[in-house]
Amino acid sequence: MVAMRKIKLVLTLVGRVINEAVSFIVFSVLDLVDFILCFVYKVADFFIEAEWKPCYCSSSKEAITGSGKILVSEQGESKIVCLSSTKLQLEEISDTLYTRPSLLSEVSKLSMKEIKKGTARSTFSVNSTIVEMLQGKIGGQNLHPIPRWSDCDCKFCTSWTSNCKETLFVKTDGPREYKGQEDVLFIHGFISSSAFWTETLFPNFSSAAKSSFRLFAIDLLGFGRSPKPTDSMYTLREHLEIIERSVLEPNKVKSFHIVAHSLGCILALALAVKHPSSIKSLTLLAPPYYPIPKGEQATQYVMRRVAPRRVWPVIAFGASIACWYEHISRTICLLICKNHRFVEFLTKLITRNRIRTFLLEGFFCHTHNAAWHTLHNIICGTAGKMEKYLDAVRDNLKCDVNLFHGKDDELIPVECSYNVQSKIPRARVKVIDKKDHITIVVGRQRAFARELENIWRNSSRC
């Protein structure tokens, strides 16, 4: 038995070393590829759209432009100051958008003086780029709201353009007429859609639940059939305000339950803190909460935890590509998202239409601009706020808090749910064996629907 443990320990250590070595090589190559793609896309944008498009790879010392927008960045906290004739508004953004360690940048930016001193800069910083991307937002100019040449232009992805009001796509179920029933808001995770709920849970809710609760499942800003404006920074404020404008206000929602998955958990907590007296219960699936060690920069620490730049496990590799490489991830969107109709057709053909493709629709129907900014500004950008949100839920809200996590989740580890419980002792954690980040719902939708109904009914009695 002891010998077997030693062998297992040695194999684990060897595997870790191999993973580290291969990862270093692979991501060094990807650094170079992304650097080259930067120039490729600038040329392509110029010839196709007749203007140079800003990205987060160039550098500039000036953060003030004639558009009246100023980037304020200090110690990892960044805000865009938008000035207009009537108001001053702060748009909070994550510094991870323009500050990401890169082996290539370290080498290219070393000066002879720095080499002699034995020091090196490990990050590249782009301030004015963010200001350039927002030019015209306050001034009334349109920055190609639909779509860019590298985005999909099918009816499904651009259906929002036929609606004069920029509101989210909302799928509803339950009573058609409001007669005092309770409301439930479902918020999906990163690169997903409302179908994550409507194709799994909604058909499995009991008739009693559907007569007692109004169910609202949204496509988040930039995903599914919701608006995908190219001039949006997809900040926390933008996400919250459009949820309020699309669901809470038009449906006169006064109190409600929230069910959220992954990235959606961050929005759920922020929404709960903003409307503390309205929340009946919080159900969070795989919440991405990483306590920040003392001395660490919150945004950069969370970026490394979510996207560790490792080739294994595969889901971590995918997250790293999406988070670290602006132009490689845009290329993936160009190849897959722009051609999602063909990919879906091919999937149905290969599987002989034996599987439902709603997960593929949610995964493919977004723009690179939406995914890139949402990932950085929500998951990384709120890292320093999560503790305050959880403290507020613990101290100012009396609602039930329930956490569900798949034991085999390789993207958001189980420890994240226990981290939330450590901040909110009344929170109940349920870890599901042999389930991961997706199968925590998909594949056990009937059982989970019953669990949710019990949560809502018990919360209503309080």
275 is catalytic: no
Q: Residue 243's domain is classified under what CATH number?
A: 3.40.50.1820
Q: pLDDT confidence of 2, banded at 50, 70, 90?
A: confident
Of the two residues 102 and 117, the one the predictor is more confident about is 102
Q: Residue 318 sits in which domain range? A: 170-460
151 is catalytic: no
pLDDT at site 134: 44
Domain membership flag for residue 430: yes
Of the candidates 173, 400, 409, 436, the residue annotated as catalytic is: 409
Q: Are residues 43 and 178 in the same domain?
A: no
Domain membership flag for residue 409: yes
Domain membership flag for residue 342: yes
Q: Examine the pLDDT at 246 and tell me if it is beyond 60.
A: yes
405 is catalytic: no
Of the candidates 192, 281, 437, 459, the residue annotated as catalytic is: 437
- Taking the CA of residue 271 as centre, how many other CA atoms within 13 Å lie in the half-sphere pointing to its CB? 32
**Number of domains into which the chain is organized:** 2
Q: Which of 166, 161, 157 is nearest to 137 (CA)?
A: 166
Domain finish residue from 9, 39, 55: 55
List Cβ neighbours of 266 (8 Å cut-off, separation of 6 or more).
Answer: 236, 287, 288, 378, 379, 382, 386
Backbone phi, psi, residue 68, to 5° = 85, 20
Domain membership flag for residue 36: yes
pLDDT at site 144: 46
At 145, the amino acid letter reads: P
Of the candidates 188, 275, 366, 376, the residue annotated as catalytic is: 188
pLDDT at site 11: 83
| Peptide linkage before 313 cis (omega within 30 of 0) | yes
pTM of the predicted protein model:
0.87
Domain finish residue from 39, 55, 71: 55
Q: Examine the pLDDT at 132 and tell me if it is beyond 50.
A: no
Domain finish residue from 32, 55, 78: 55
Domain membership flag for residue 137: no
Give the residue-averaged pLDDT of 38-43.
Answer: 93
Q: pLDDT confidence of 109, banded at 50, 70, 90?
A: very low
257 is catalytic: no
Structure token digits, residue 59: 């550098």
Give the residue-averaged pLDDT of 142-167.
Answer: 77
Of the candidates 232, 246, 262, 281, the residue annotated as catalytic is: 262
Domain membership flag for residue 71: no
Domain membership flag for residue 62: no
Domain membership flag for residue 310: yes
Q: pLDDT confidence of 301, banded at 50, 70, 90?
A: very high
- Tokens 């995770």 correspond to 189
